[in-house]
Amino acid sequence: MIYFFRRGDVSLTCETRLDPEGHGFELVISEDGKTRSERFEKLPAMLAREHELLHAWRALGWREIGVSLRSD
């Protein structure tokens, strides 16, 4: 799943996916051309972190402009 946010003229995306380097999961966050990844061994830990980030971004004024479900 990919979330798309906007605040002013800056965009932010957060993608949840399987970790391409092995077992587990990954959150990939891109903001203003900079990307960082957070890896998790267990799905509940990743989902908790995703919820934490989405809540924080909304509280900081980021506006959700779309969600995409990946099919791959």
Does residue 16 belong to any structural domain of this protein?
A: yes
| Residue 71: predicted pLDDT | 46
Full residue range of the structural domain in which residue 14 is found? 2-65
Q: Count of domains in the chain?
A: 1
Cα–Cα separations (whole angstroms), residue 56 to 19, 50, 51, 53, 61: 24, 10, 9, 5, 9
For the stretch 32-57, pLDDT in tens is 889 999 999 999 999 999 999 999 99
Q: Are 16 and 27 in contact (CB under 8 A)?
A: yes
Question: Which of the four pLDDT bands, split at 50, 70 and 90, describes residue 23?
Answer: confident
> Could you give phi then psi for residue 15, rounded to 5 degrees?
-115, 130
Residue 70 lies in a domain: no
Let me know if residue 71 belongs to a domain. no
> Residue 60's domain is classified under what CATH number?
2.20.140
Within-domain flag for 49? yes
Residue pair 14/47 in contact (Cβ under 8 Å)? The answer is: no
72 assigned to some structural domain: no
Q: What percent of the chain has pLDDT over 70?
A: 96
Residue 70, pLDDT above cutoff 70:
no
